[in-house]
Amino acid sequence: MKRYVAESIATFFLIFCGTGAMVINTETGVITHTGVSAAWGLIVMIMIFTFGRISGAHMNPAVTVSLALVKLHPSREIVPYLFAQLIGAFAASLSLQQLFPDNELLGASLPQGSEMQSFILEFILTFMLMIVILMTSQGRKFEQYFAPVVIGATIGLEALYAGPISNASMNPFRSLAPAVVSGHIEHLWLYLISTTLGALAAGFYWLWQREE
Protein backbone atom coordinates (compact mmCIF):
# COMPACT_ATOMS: atom_id res chain seq x y z
CA MET A 1 0.00 0.00 0.00
CA LYS A 2 2.88 2.37 0.73
CA ARG A 3 4.13 1.84 -2.82
CA TYR A 4 0.71 2.56 -4.30
CA VAL A 5 0.27 5.73 -2.27
CA ALA A 6 3.74 6.91 -3.25
CA GLU A 7 3.00 6.20 -6.91
CA SER A 8 -0.24 8.17 -6.71
CA ILE A 9 1.45 11.16 -5.05
CA ALA A 10 4.31 11.14 -7.56
CA THR A 11 1.85 11.05 -10.47
CA PHE A 12 -0.15 13.87 -8.91
CA PHE A 13 2.88 16.14 -8.71
CA LEU A 14 3.97 15.15 -12.24
CA ILE A 15 0.65 16.22 -13.77
CA PHE A 16 0.10 19.13 -11.40
CA CYS A 17 3.49 20.70 -12.14
CA GLY A 18 3.79 19.68 -15.80
CA THR A 19 0.35 20.58 -17.09
CA GLY A 20 0.22 23.29 -14.42
CA ALA A 21 3.17 24.99 -16.11
CA MET A 22 1.27 24.81 -19.40
CA VAL A 23 -1.87 26.27 -17.82
CA ILE A 24 -0.01 29.10 -16.09
CA ASN A 25 1.90 29.88 -19.27
CA THR A 26 -1.43 30.14 -21.09
CA GLU A 27 -2.71 32.46 -18.37
CA THR A 28 0.36 34.68 -18.07
CA GLY A 29 2.73 33.99 -20.98
CA VAL A 30 5.63 34.26 -18.55
CA ILE A 31 6.91 30.67 -18.43
CA THR A 32 7.42 30.23 -22.21
CA HIS A 33 7.73 26.96 -24.11
CA THR A 34 11.31 26.46 -22.89
CA GLY A 35 10.15 26.93 -19.32
CA VAL A 36 7.33 24.42 -19.73
CA SER A 37 9.80 21.87 -21.13
CA ALA A 38 12.12 22.47 -18.18
CA ALA A 39 9.22 22.06 -15.75
CA TRP A 40 8.37 18.64 -17.18
CA GLY A 41 11.98 17.47 -17.01
CA LEU A 42 12.58 18.81 -13.52
CA ILE A 43 9.44 17.36 -11.95
CA VAL A 44 10.22 13.91 -13.40
CA MET A 45 13.77 14.06 -12.03
CA ILE A 46 12.60 15.28 -8.60
CA MET A 47 9.87 12.65 -8.27
CA ILE A 48 12.23 9.80 -9.21
CA PHE A 49 14.77 10.98 -6.64
CA THR A 50 11.98 11.35 -4.06
CA PHE A 51 9.80 8.29 -4.60
CA GLY A 52 11.98 6.02 -6.74
CA ARG A 53 13.16 3.94 -3.78
CA ILE A 54 9.57 3.38 -2.64
CA SER A 55 7.48 2.78 -5.76
CA GLY A 56 9.96 3.13 -8.60
CA ALA A 57 8.19 6.39 -9.52
CA HIS A 58 6.82 5.11 -12.83
CA MET A 59 4.12 7.84 -13.02
CA ASN A 60 3.22 6.41 -16.40
CA PRO A 61 1.09 3.33 -17.20
CA ALA A 62 3.04 2.67 -20.39
CA VAL A 63 6.24 2.48 -18.34
CA THR A 64 4.61 0.15 -15.80
CA VAL A 65 3.34 -2.23 -18.48
CA SER A 66 6.69 -2.24 -20.29
CA LEU A 67 8.57 -2.94 -17.05
CA ALA A 68 6.21 -5.83 -16.37
CA LEU A 69 6.85 -7.12 -19.90
CA VAL A 70 10.58 -7.34 -19.23
CA LYS A 71 9.93 -8.81 -15.75
CA LEU A 72 11.25 -5.80 -13.83
CA HIS A 73 7.85 -5.20 -12.24
CA PRO A 74 5.47 -7.86 -10.84
CA SER A 75 2.56 -8.56 -13.19
CA ARG A 76 0.18 -8.81 -10.24
CA GLU A 77 0.89 -5.16 -9.42
CA ILE A 78 0.07 -3.73 -12.86
CA VAL A 79 -3.59 -2.98 -12.07
CA PRO A 80 -2.93 -1.46 -8.60
CA TYR A 81 -0.17 0.74 -10.04
CA LEU A 82 -2.36 1.90 -12.94
CA PHE A 83 -5.19 2.65 -10.51
CA ALA A 84 -2.83 4.65 -8.28
CA GLN A 85 -1.52 6.60 -11.27
CA LEU A 86 -5.05 7.25 -12.48
CA ILE A 87 -6.08 8.66 -9.11
CA GLY A 88 -3.02 10.93 -9.00
CA ALA A 89 -3.49 12.17 -12.56
CA PHE A 90 -7.18 13.01 -12.19
CA ALA A 91 -6.65 14.60 -8.78
CA ALA A 92 -4.05 16.89 -10.36
CA SER A 93 -6.24 17.88 -13.32
CA LEU A 94 -9.26 18.46 -11.09
CA SER A 95 -7.14 20.61 -8.79
CA LEU A 96 -5.96 22.71 -11.73
CA GLN A 97 -9.55 23.07 -12.92
CA GLN A 98 -10.51 24.47 -9.53
CA LEU A 99 -7.55 26.84 -9.51
CA PHE A 100 -7.99 27.99 -13.12
CA PRO A 101 -11.68 27.47 -13.96
CA ASP A 102 -11.53 29.63 -17.09
CA ASN A 103 -8.65 27.71 -18.67
CA GLU A 104 -10.00 25.79 -21.65
CA LEU A 105 -7.45 23.01 -22.14
CA LEU A 106 -5.86 22.39 -18.71
CA GLY A 107 -2.77 21.11 -20.50
CA ALA A 108 -4.62 18.61 -22.69
CA SER A 109 -2.61 17.00 -25.49
CA LEU A 110 -3.66 18.24 -28.92
CA PRO A 111 -1.78 17.65 -32.19
CA GLN A 112 -0.77 20.75 -34.12
CA GLY A 113 -0.45 18.87 -37.41
CA SER A 114 -2.10 15.69 -38.63
CA GLU A 115 -3.07 12.94 -36.22
CA MET A 116 -0.74 10.48 -37.96
CA GLN A 117 2.18 12.87 -37.63
CA SER A 118 1.65 13.14 -33.87
CA PHE A 119 0.98 9.38 -33.59
CA ILE A 120 4.34 8.52 -35.14
CA LEU A 121 6.11 11.24 -33.18
CA GLU A 122 4.64 10.07 -29.86
CA PHE A 123 5.60 6.47 -30.64
CA ILE A 124 9.21 7.49 -31.26
CA LEU A 125 9.35 9.80 -28.24
CA THR A 126 8.02 7.12 -25.88
CA PHE A 127 10.30 4.47 -27.38
CA MET A 128 13.29 6.73 -26.73
CA LEU A 129 12.15 7.52 -23.19
CA MET A 130 11.61 3.86 -22.31
CA ILE A 131 14.99 2.86 -23.73
CA VAL A 132 16.65 5.52 -21.58
CA ILE A 133 14.74 4.30 -18.50
CA LEU A 134 15.77 0.68 -19.06
CA MET A 135 19.38 1.32 -20.02
CA THR A 136 20.12 3.66 -17.12
CA SER A 137 18.10 2.05 -14.33
CA GLN A 138 19.48 -1.40 -15.20
CA GLY A 139 22.97 -0.28 -16.08
CA ARG A 140 26.14 0.09 -14.02
CA LYS A 141 25.99 1.65 -10.54
CA PHE A 142 27.23 4.96 -11.92
CA GLU A 143 24.45 4.97 -14.52
CA GLN A 144 21.83 3.96 -11.97
CA TYR A 145 22.86 6.80 -9.68
CA PHE A 146 22.36 9.40 -12.41
CA ALA A 147 19.28 7.72 -13.92
CA PRO A 148 16.83 10.30 -12.50
CA VAL A 149 18.85 13.15 -14.02
CA VAL A 150 19.15 11.46 -17.41
CA ILE A 151 15.46 10.47 -17.50
CA GLY A 152 14.40 13.99 -16.52
CA ALA A 153 16.72 15.46 -19.15
CA THR A 154 15.21 13.15 -21.77
CA ILE A 155 11.71 14.34 -20.88
CA GLY A 156 12.82 17.96 -21.04
CA LEU A 157 14.58 17.48 -24.37
CA GLU A 158 11.65 15.71 -25.99
CA ALA A 159 9.19 18.30 -24.68
CA LEU A 160 11.45 21.07 -25.97
CA TYR A 161 11.63 19.95 -29.58
CA ALA A 162 8.43 17.94 -30.02
CA GLY A 163 6.05 19.85 -27.75
CA PRO A 164 5.00 22.36 -30.43
CA ILE A 165 3.80 19.50 -32.68
CA SER A 166 2.36 16.75 -30.46
CA ASN A 167 2.63 18.23 -26.93
CA ALA A 168 5.21 15.48 -26.21
CA SER A 169 2.91 13.41 -24.00
CA MET A 170 4.80 10.10 -23.76
CA ASN A 171 2.31 9.10 -21.07
CA PRO A 172 -1.29 7.86 -21.57
CA PHE A 173 -2.59 9.20 -18.26
CA ARG A 174 -0.80 12.53 -18.70
CA SER A 175 -3.06 12.96 -21.74
CA LEU A 176 -6.16 11.19 -20.39
CA ALA A 177 -6.78 13.23 -17.23
CA PRO A 178 -6.54 16.76 -18.73
CA ALA A 179 -8.53 15.67 -21.79
CA VAL A 180 -11.42 14.23 -19.78
CA VAL A 181 -11.52 17.04 -17.21
CA SER A 182 -11.35 19.76 -19.89
CA GLY A 183 -13.71 17.92 -22.26
CA HIS A 184 -11.19 17.83 -25.13
CA ILE A 185 -11.11 14.12 -25.93
CA GLU A 186 -11.22 14.44 -29.72
CA HIS A 187 -7.62 13.28 -30.24
CA LEU A 188 -7.20 11.24 -27.07
CA TRP A 189 -7.04 7.86 -28.79
CA LEU A 190 -3.76 8.59 -30.54
CA TYR A 191 -2.01 9.48 -27.28
CA LEU A 192 -3.30 6.40 -25.47
CA ILE A 193 -2.27 3.99 -28.22
CA SER A 194 0.96 5.49 -29.59
CA THR A 195 2.63 5.95 -26.21
CA THR A 196 1.74 2.45 -25.04
CA LEU A 197 3.03 0.89 -28.25
CA GLY A 198 6.24 2.92 -28.06
CA ALA A 199 6.96 1.75 -24.52
CA LEU A 200 6.21 -1.88 -25.35
CA ALA A 201 8.41 -1.74 -28.46
CA ALA A 202 11.26 -0.46 -26.29
CA GLY A 203 10.69 -3.33 -23.88
CA PHE A 204 10.90 -5.88 -26.70
CA TYR A 205 14.08 -4.25 -27.99
CA TRP A 206 15.65 -4.35 -24.54
CA LEU A 207 14.84 -8.06 -24.19
CA TRP A 208 16.30 -8.76 -27.64
CA GLN A 209 19.57 -6.89 -27.09
CA ARG A 210 20.09 -8.70 -23.76
CA GLU A 211 19.91 -12.14 -25.36
CA GLU A 212 23.20 -14.05 -25.28
CATH code assigned at 54: 1.20.1080.10
pLDDT 10s digits, 24-53 = 999 999 999 999 999 999 999 999 999 999
Q: What percent of the chain is modeled with pLDDT above 90?
A: 93
Q: Which pLDDT score, from 0 to 100, does residue 82 have?
A: 98
pTM beyond 0.85: yes
CA 121 to CA 143: how far, in whole Å?
27
- Cβ count within 10 A of residue 97: 16
Nearest CA-CA partner of 48 in 149, 140, 136, 132: 149
- Cβ count within 10 A of residue 191: 28
pLDDT for residue 212 is more than 70: no
pLDDT 10s digits, 135-187 = 999 888 888 889 999 999 999 999 999 999 999 999 999 999 999 999 999 99
Q: Helices (H), strands (E): how many in the chain?
A: 9, 0
CA 210 to CA 184: how far, in whole Å?
41
CA 25 to CA 191: how far, in whole Å?
22
Bin 204: left if φ > 0, else alpha if -120 < ψ < 50, else beta: alpha
CA 132 to CA 163: how far, in whole Å?
19
Q: Which residues contact 60 (CB under 8 A, 6 or more apart)?
A: 85, 170, 171, 172, 173, 174, 199
Domain that holds residue 144: 2-210
What sign for the dihedral angle of Cα 195, 123, 49, 40?
A: negative
- The number of folded domains in the chain is 1
Q: Which pLDDT score, from 0 to 100, does residue 139 have?
A: 82
